[in-house]
């Protein structure tokens, strides 16, 4: 039997972890192209001060300059005791060129001695499709650990203890994380919209 080609859509990222997560969630329904797959090597400016704004900048950039329908995500870790920081600045919390380990160190330092450790991850996905724009949101509640746990995942995963499992994201399998994560939840809304 001949295989029908899957609809193609660009995910405005080169983050291999995110591509892997998205491809697992969309498997069999959509072919997801990365920015390097379409030869886009631009440093897309993320200058908005909201997750929605940054996700839209990235999706529009690809649509306008490369002509592909595209989705882009922006994620923040909001810590209640730090008035929502690092929030939209989660990627560069410890300064320009910082590593995830630098961000974790700084966050643990800011949280030293704090008993109130609740936090949540939020993801916004922006989609350009057939001349329209759509937004999909997901979030997950948890707490900031006092030290790193586990080696899976990326970013702040070793210090985010998900309320639903009592485990750090970095101690969970990719499937278990996807099932409850901010991005998993936003991605499922996005996929339901695209496929159903």
- Minimum CB distance to ligand IMP, residue 114 (Å): 20
Q: Using CB under 6 A as the criterion, what x/- string covers residues 115-134 for binding ligand IMP? A: --------------------
Closest to 113 (Cα-Cα) out of 87, 143, 146, 142: 146
Q: Which residue is nearest to ligand IMP (CB)?
A: 155
The end-to-end CA distance of the chain, in Å, is: 24
**Options 155, 168, 172, 180; binder of ligand IMP; rule CB under 6 A:** 155
- Minimum CB distance to ligand IMP, residue 81 (Å): 18
Please state the three-class secondary structure of 154-195 as a single string.
CCCHHHEEECCCCCEHHHCCHHHHHHHCHHHHHHHHHHHHHH
The Cα 101–Cα 156 span in angstroms is 8
Q: Which stretch binds ligand IMP (CB under 6 A): 22-30, 60-68, 70-78, 127-135?
A: 70-78
Element housing 148 (H / E): none
141 token code pair: 């509640």
In the residue annotation, 74 being an active-site residue is answered as yes
Q: Which stretch binds ligand IMP (CB under 6 A): 23-31, 71-79, 112-120, 144-152?
A: 71-79
- Minimum CB distance to ligand IMP, residue 29 (Å): 22
Residue 143 is a binding residue for ligand IMP (CB under 6 A): no
How large is the C-alpha radius of gyration of the chain? 17
Binding residues (CB under 6 A) for ligand IMP: these are 73-75, 77, 90-91, 100, 103, 153-157, 169, 181, 183
């Amino acid at each position: 039997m001949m295989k029908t080609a899957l609809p193609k859509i660009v995910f405005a990222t080169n983050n291999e972890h995110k591509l892997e997560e998205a491809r697992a969630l969309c498997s069999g329904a959509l072919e997801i192209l990365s920015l390097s797959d379409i030869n886009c090597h631009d440093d897309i400016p993320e200058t908005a001060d909201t997750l929605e704004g940054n996700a839209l900048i990235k999706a529009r950039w690809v649509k306008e300059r490369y002509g592909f329908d595209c989705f882009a995500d922006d994620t923040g870790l909001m810590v209640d005791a730090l008035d929502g920081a690092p929030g939209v600045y989660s990627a560069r919390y410890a300064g320009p060129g910082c590593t995830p380990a630098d961000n974790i160190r700084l966050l643990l330092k800011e949280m030293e001695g704090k008993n109130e450790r609740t936090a949540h991850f939020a993801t916004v996905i922006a989609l350009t499709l057939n001349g329209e724009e759509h937004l999909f949101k997901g979030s997950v509640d948890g707490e900031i650990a006092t030290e790193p746990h586990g080696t899976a995942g990326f970013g702040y995963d070793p210090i985010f203890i998900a309320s639903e499992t009592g485990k750090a994201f970095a101690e969970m399998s990719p499937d278990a994380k996807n099932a409850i994560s901010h991005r998993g939840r936003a991605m499922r809304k996005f996929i339901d919209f695209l496929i159903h």
